[in-house]
Structures are given as C-alpha cells and as structure tokens.
Amino acid sequence: MRWPGPNPARQQSEALELVATRPDVLFATSTGATLALRGATQRIPIVFVGLSDPVGTGLVVNLARPDSNLTGFSLYEHSMSGKWLSLLKDMVPDLGHAAVLFNPESAPYAPFYLQAARQMENRLGMKVTGASVRNGAEIAVAIEAAARVGSGIVVLPDGGFFAAQSGMTIPLLAERRVPAIYAVRFYTVNGGLMSYGADLAQQFRDGAAYVDRILRGAEIRTLPVQFATKFELVINMKVANALGLTVPCQLLMEAELIE
C-alpha cells in the first residue's frame, strides 16, 4: 500500500516502486494515482475507483470494452457540476454567483466540470467562475473573494487535496458565511453545509470484486468501466441554521439530515 497524496512527483515515484514488485493487479483510488500507474506499466491490470470523468482525462476510451490495462468504477462525470450548482441555488435562492474551487494538479479534469457549470448560468441565473488553488493560502484568498461578492462555492472532487485542507477550509467558510457544496459527505459530516455524491465505500467493494475476478483469470476487456448510479444528498442543519438559511421542503424530503 502507498499513500502519496495529491503530490504528482510522489505518485510517480511510488507507482514505479509498486510496479517493480511485479504484482498481479494494481488498485488505484484517484485520477493522479491512476495516471501515475498507467505511466509506469501498460501490462499489469489496473483497477481504479473513485475517479472523476475517466474519459475526459484520457484514461479510458471504450467504457464498455476497455482496450488497455485499465478498468474500474467512476464516481462522477463532468455534467455533475450542474447538479451541484442547482442544489446550491435551491438552498440559497438569491445566490447570483458561484465559484468552482479546484486544484489543477490533483483535479486535471476540472476544465470539463467548469465548462459544464458555465452552461448552467442562464438556466440558474448565476455567474460561474473558476477558482484555481494549490495550497491553503490560495484557498483562503478564494473564500475571502467569495465572501466579498456574496458567492457560493462548489468544491470539486479533489483527489485528496481538500481533505487535507478541510481543517482550515470548513471553519473559514463558516466564519465568512460562504455557502458551499461538496461531492463527498465527509465534508458535511465535519461541518460543511451540504454534499451530493455517491457512496465511495460501495465503489471500493465493487473494485474489490473486479480485483477478485482478475486474480481468477478474467481479462480487462471483459470488465466494463461502470459509473455510480446511487447518490445521496446530505445537509448539515446546524450549519444551515448558523448561516441563516431556511432549507426548502423539497430538499428536506430528499436529504439525509445531520443535526
């Protein structure tokens, strides 16, 4: 097992170390790690989970019948950014601006999400901008900018970057009274306003099943890339109340609520 985090150089070096051990199959849990493993071997089967838009990032061409040494399970594709924006607008109806927050190193797929988000501007009556950040200081600048203009924030799936920064990011969002939506419930449980996403634990179970089949002799081309089909909306009511938000009945009925 290796945990390089969102650091590309470490991902590459540790991918080479793993490949040098000559395993029967490799298992990857982020876009960066999967790219690093693919760069290290085109022979050893690679099963990925939790990826965002594997087609847009060039990892997979044929979803139904993979023609390389990669297959697995993807959480999202880029049109999800429109859903996150819609939910944020439902939560804060007078919201006129939203920033899509991403780290370009750990989220190389961000341009596709941002493009899809901008296609929703007219429908939602919102101006959408991108906020590229690479460290905690830049996150703080982006949050301060959002607070000044009354913007909301969509935090893109991040390959582990924002999880490491959440101890600073979530309290600052609360302090500056900036509503934000995340792709993973982890953030909502730990003090974020709301999240909408798939069950990551289930993706690991599904990925383990693919690993088992490969170890028993299955070929990659017989294992199609699959996308999550079940998503959950999670709302932290304590945070909503602290922000002075009245959660619409429709969201109350659809969501799992954290008091």
Q: What is the pLDDT of residue 159?
A: 67
Q: What is the pLDDT of residue 220?
A: 93
Task: For the beta carbon of residue 240, count every other beta carbon within 10 angstroms.
Answer: 20
Q: What is the pLDDT of residue 154?
A: 96
DSSP 177: T
Q: Which residues of the chain have pLDDT under 70?
A: 159
Instruction: Find all residues with CB under 8 Å of 4, minimum gap 6, and list them.
Output: 10, 11, 13, 14, 33, 36
Q: Is 64 exposed, middle or buried (0-12, 13-18, 19+ CB in 10 A)?
A: exposed
Burial profile 97-106: b = 16 or more Cβ within 10 angstroms, e = fewer: ebbbbbbeeb
Residue 141 has φ and ψ, to the nearest 5°, of -65, -45
Q: What is the pLDDT of residue 178?
A: 97
CATH 3.40.50.2300, the chain: domain bounds: 8-77+199-230, 80-198+232-258
Task: Kindly report the CATH class assigned to 8-77+199-230.
Answer: alpha beta
Topology adopted by domain 80-198+232-258: Rossmann fold (3.40.50)
- This prediction's pTM: 0.85
Q: CA-based diameter of the chain, in Å?
A: 57
Specify the amino acid at residue 82: G
Best CA proximity match to 223, nearest among 76, 42, 65? 65
Q: Is 5 exposed, middle or buried (0-12, 13-18, 19+ CB in 10 A)?
A: middle
Residues 12-37 have pLDDT tens digits of 999 999 999 999 999 998 888 899 99
Q: What is the pLDDT of residue 61?
A: 87
